Amino acid sequence: MAMTYTCHGAAREVTGSCHLIECGDRRVLVDCGMFQGGRATEEANSQPFDFDPASIDALLLTHAHLDHCGRIPLLVREGFKGRILATSATRELARVVLLDAASLQVEDAARASRRGEHVAPLYDLDDALQALDFFEPGIGYDHPVTVAPGIEARFQDAGHILGSASIVLRLDDGETRRSIVFSGDLGNPGRPLLRDPVPAPAADYVVMECTYGDRPHRSLPDSVGELYAAIRETTRRHGNVVIPTFALERAQELLYYLHLGLRDGAIAPHVRVFLDSPMAISATEIFRRHPECFDTAFLAELRHGDPFAMEGLHFTRDTAESMAINTIDSGAVILAGSGMCNGGRVRHHLKHNLWRDRSAVVFVGYAAQGTLARRIIDGAASVRVFNEEITVRAKVWTINGFSAHADRPSLLAWLGELPRRQVLLVHGEYERGMRAFGEVLAARGLAPRMPRRGERIALD
C-alpha cells in the first residue's frame, strides 16, 4: 500500500490521539497524546509504540492538550528525530503542559516508592526538555508548509483552545494524489475569546472527532447566567465558591466572564477572585501574548484594557499564598485545578469548603467516571479528600454549557455538505458520541468508518 492511514490512539475512545500517515517512503504523525482515564487505560502509555519512532519524518500537533501531546517525550526518547510542527501558541502551551506532566510523573513515582512500590516515572523533566528542542518555530494558520517531499500541510483554526488547529494534508507519492483533513478537537462557534472553527475544506478523506456527536449543548448565555447566580447566591449566604478548573482555555474564559460580571453588576463588587493554579497563570500569560488567535470582538475588548483583570483578583503561584486562601470564610471565588479534582490544589479548597453549607462547588467541565469530581456531581453524601472523609454539605452546581468541544450541530456544520470518499470517526466513546454521530452521517449517505486501534486503512 503506497498511501495509508493508521489509527494509533483515540480509536473509539477520547484520549491518546495518534494518527500515522504513510505516503511512499515518508511517514508523518498527527498528534502523540497520552491515554487518560483509569489505571487500565493509562497502562497503554508505557507500552512501546506500534511503529518505529525513528522512522517518522515529522509530527504535526493539532493542539496542546495532554491527550494530544503527552507522549511526545516518549517518542523522542524512543528515537524520533524528525520535525515537530505546531502553531506558535500551541508550541508555548505544549511547553507548559509537558513540563507540568513530567513533574507530576516524577511526583507520582516518588509517592509510589514511598509506599514500597517500584514505579519509574513515564518520563522526567530532561525527557520533556529534550522533546521541546524538536519543536520548530511556530507556523501560522492557512499557510501551506512542505512537511516532507510529497507531503504538504496547512493548519486551519479549530476554535477549541488557544492555537488549536485542524490539519489539511496534501499527499503525493509520485503516482497518486490524495487529500486528508484531520479535524483535531473542534470548538463551538460563538465562544468569547477564540474564533469559530474554520469548516473542513474539500478533501478525499476526513478524520474527525465526535466527542459530543450525540447531543446539542446547553446555550452559553444561559450557562454564564447560571454561573453568576451561583456566585450571587453563595456570597449572599456568606460562603465561598470553589470552581474546579481546567488550566487551558476554561480558566481564561471564566476570568473573562467574571470580569464582565463584575463590570456589569451581575456579581457583587466585594468578591475576591483567586486563580490558584500555576499552570493556569502561565497559560493566561501565554494568552496575552497571542492576540493573533483572538476573535475580532475580543480583540476590540483588549483595546479597552486587560480583559482578564478585575478588582480583587489574585494570582496565587506560591504554595503559601494558596494556603492563605483557606483562612477566608466568605466572599472568595476560587478557581483551581484540576478540573476533575483528581489532583492539584482544588482538593485543599474542597477540604475546607465541602463540609460548609454556606459554600458552593461549581462544576463547569467534563468529569470522567471514577474521579472525585464525578462522585460529588453524582451526589455522594461524603467523599474522601486527602485520606479524610468529608461530608458534602456545600451546594453543588453542575453547569454544562461551557464545553470546549463542538456539539452535534457544530460538528455537522464543520463537516458541511461537500462530497467525500470517506469519513473516519475518531475521538469519541463508541457507545456515546461515536455511534450516535455515525448514525447521523449514515442517514446522509456517508457510511463513516470507526477504526479500531492499530487499524490500517488504504487511502486509495
Segment 182 to 241, residues that bind Zn ion, using CB under 5 A? 185
Asked whether 174 and 25 are in contact (CB, 8 A), the reply is no
**Least distance from Zn ion to the Cβ atom of residue 371, Å:** 17
Cell numbers standing for residue 292: 493573533
**Least distance from Zn ion to the Cβ atom of residue 274, Å:** 25
Quick one: which segment of 1-9, 65-73, 417-425, 436-444 binds Zn ion (CB under 5 A)?
Answer: 65-73
Site string for Zn ion, 346-375 (x = CB under 5 A): ------------------------------
Asked whether 429 and 11 are in contact (CB, 8 A), the reply is no
Which residues neighbour 366 within 8 Å (Cβ) at sequence distance 6 or greater? Answer: 339, 340, 403
Q: How far apart are the C-alpha atoms of 261 and 146, rounded to whole Å?
A: 46
Site string for Zn ion, 150-189 (x = CB under 5 A): -----------------------------------x----
| 305 burial via Cβ count (<10 Å: 0-12, 13-18, 19+) | exposed
**Least distance from Zn ion to the Cβ atom of residue 12, Å:** 17
Site string for Zn ion, 115-154 (x = CB under 5 A): ----------------------------------------
Q: Which is nearer to Zn ion, 64 or 102 (CB)?
A: 64
**Least distance from Zn ion to the Cβ atom of residue 249, Å:** 9
Q: Is 250 in the site for Zn ion (CB under 5 A)?
A: no
Pairing of strands 382-385, 313-315: unpaired
Q: Which is nearer to Zn ion, 34 or 350 (CB)?
A: 34
Q: Which is nearer to Zn ion, 65 or 449 (CB)?
A: 65
Asked whether 399 and 243 are in contact (CB, 8 A), the reply is no
**Least distance from Zn ion to the Cβ atom of residue 68, Å:** 6
Q: Which of 8, 65, 170, 408 binds Zn ion (CB under 5 A)?
A: 65
Q: Which is nearer to Zn ion, 65 or 250 (CB)?
A: 65
Q: How far apart are the C-alpha atoms of 310 and 215, rounded to whole Å?
A: 35
Q: Which is nearer to Zn ion, 65 or 178 (CB)?
A: 65
Going from the C-alpha of 106 to that of each of 51, 100, 101, 121, 387, the distances in angstroms are 26, 10, 9, 5, 21
Asked whether 217 and 321 are in contact (CB, 8 A), the reply is no
Quick one: which segment of 60-68, 194-202, 259-267, 390-398 binds Zn ion (CB under 5 A)?
Answer: 60-68
Q: Which is nearer to Zn ion, 65 or 349 (CB)?
A: 65
Q: Single out the residue of 39, 116, 84, 92 nearest to residue 371, CA to CA.
A: 39
**Least distance from Zn ion to the Cβ atom of residue 10, Å:** 10
Quick one: which segment of 59-67, 120-128, 151-159, 188-196 binds Zn ion (CB under 5 A)?
Answer: 59-67
Asked whether 287 and 252 are in contact (CB, 8 A), the reply is yes
Q: Which is nearer to Zn ion, 186 or 373 (CB)?
A: 186
Q: Which is nearer to Zn ion, 65 or 352 (CB)?
A: 65
Q: How far apart are the C-alpha atoms of 65 and 34, rounded to whole Å?
A: 9
Count of residues that bind Zn ion according to CB under 5 A: 2
Quick one: which segment of 63-71, 93-101, 204-212, 295-303 binds Zn ion (CB under 5 A)?
Answer: 63-71
**Least distance from Zn ion to the Cβ atom of residue 51, Å:** 23
**Least distance from Zn ion to the Cβ atom of residue 209, Å:** 9
Segment 88 to 117, residues that bind Zn ion, using CB under 5 A? none
Q: Which is nearer to Zn ion, 97 or 151 (CB)?
A: 97
Report the side by side order of strands in the sheet with 456-458: 83-85, 58-60, 26-30, 18-23, 3-9, 456-458
Cell numbers standing for residue 267: 456579581
**Least distance from Zn ion to the Cβ atom of residue 64, Å:** 8
Q: Which is nearer to Zn ion, 45 or 240 (CB)?
A: 45
Asked whether 49 and 75 are in contact (CB, 8 A), the reply is yes
Asked whether 248 and 283 are in contact (CB, 8 A), the reply is yes
Write the secondary structure of 214-243 as one string of H (helix), E (strand) and C (coil).
CCCCCCHHHHHHHHHHHHHHHHHCCCCEEE
**Least distance from Zn ion to the Cβ atom of residue 390, Å:** 31
Quick one: which segment of 6-14, 62-70, 127-135, 313-321 binds Zn ion (CB under 5 A)?
Answer: 62-70
Length of the chain: 460
- 338 upstream amide cis, omega within 30 of 0: yes
**Least distance from Zn ion to the Cβ atom of residue 248, Å:** 8
Contact residues toward Zn ion (CB under 5 A) are 65, 185
